[in-house]
Chains A and B, each alone.
Chain A
């Protein structure tokens, strides 16, 4: 059963269609790149999969069910902004995730926080922007979810943080779960991905594996992206 499935999925904001008849499937065990320029509809798709928006047409399912309470316990979501309450300390954050998600691996999270030198008593407020993003990613990746939806996990962070984030994603790989990474920084994530989905103006422009693209076109996904989305 696909972990994420869309058929004819449409979402409009006013008169403009943010997503226009999008159909795609993501199978378990895959790390998929959702690639497209800013405003192409990546975030809209991820929000729909999280039930933060309701579709205007078509169908979207996570592990076979429409987004809602049930799917929330199967999906681990990293929003494009810092959503963790900043007044909480690292320990309170661990309590929070542990209380709400049965699949939260507290020891794994504690180990990763410890590795970064974050004290349990430290408040999120006192952390730098980069550290906050790392902490949020640690919480998200410490869940044993079926689907990880990571919205721009490497946007706006320094290269060292970027490497840390990507290796955390690889290090937590689980063959029964799928990871969807939305980004426009393709060169950085290309090697981490199995598959890529190009989104352009609310439509799927291409879905293929990274090595198929490299084999058939003799160019990197990044180079192909630049060609497809040439201004």
Chain B
């Protein structure tokens, strides 16, 4: 897992996002046990208390659940994972749109650009 942090947001919120991404992309598969707080913190190079706080938040959301002694597990509830996936996607789209509008693009121009880009990618795939 790649951990990357920006400078403008609290670290624990960024950790929540990144663990979510890990769950959605299957780096942390459903039903699997998560590494310990200490191991995750060491891997991400962050403070263990901050990691703990992020995981506690994820637990409140239900994406992660803990079993007394065995540790923390990723949820097996696929609808919940899909919801998380969708909300992550919506965030990306939102920031993308904001950036495009700031550049002065109109809605139909944006759609045009996207379909063109997707078409080119398809062509690339076909030729490859």
Contacts and interface: CB of A to CB of B under 8 A. Distances in A.
A–B direct touch in complex (beta carbons closer than 8 A) = yes
Contacts of A215: 10
Contacts of B49: 29-31, 194
Contact of B38 (A170, A192, A218, A220): A170
Given A210-B11, A214-B10, A214-B11, A167 B42 contact: yes
Interface in B1-53: 5, 7-12, 38, 41-42, 44-50
12 contacts: A170-B45, A170-B46, A171-B38, A173-B38, A173-B48, A194-B49, A194-B50, A210-B10, A210-B47, A211-B10, A214-B8, A214-B11
A169 to B, nearest CB: 9
Contacts of A214: 7-11
Contact of A191 (B8, B9, B38, B46): B46
Q: From DSSP, what is the main secondary structure of chain A's interface residues?
A: helix
Interface in A167-214: 167, 170-171, 173, 191-194, 210-211, 214
A192 B47 CA distance: 4
Contact of B41 (A170, A211, A218, A223): A170
A209 to B, nearest CB: 9
Contact of A211 (B7, B12, B44, B45): B12
Interface residues of A, number: 22
Contacts of A218: 8-9
A30 B44 CA distance: 18
B74 to A, nearest CB: 23
A173 B10 CA distance: 21
Contact of B47 (A31, A167, A171, A222): A31
B5 A191 contact: yes
B7 A219 contact: yes
A220 B8 CA distance: 6
A171 B37 CA distance: 10
Contacts of B9: 214, 218
A80 interface: no
Given A170-B46, A192-B45, A214-B8, 7 more contacts: A31-B49, A191-B50, A192-B46, A194-B49, A210-B10, A218-B9, A222-B7
Contact of B11 (A167, A211, A223): A211
B38 to A, nearest CB: 6
A31 B48 CA distance: 9
Given A171-B38, A194-B50, A211-B50, A166 B45 contact: yes
Interface string B41-72: 11011111110000000000000000000000
Given A170-B47, A194-B49, A223 B7 contact: yes
A212 to B, nearest CB: 8
A210 B42 CA distance: 18
B47 A193 contact: yes
Nearest to B46: A191
A163 B49 CA distance: 19
A123 B46 CA distance: 33
A47 to B, nearest CB: 26
A115 to B, nearest CB: 13
Contacts of A220: 7-8
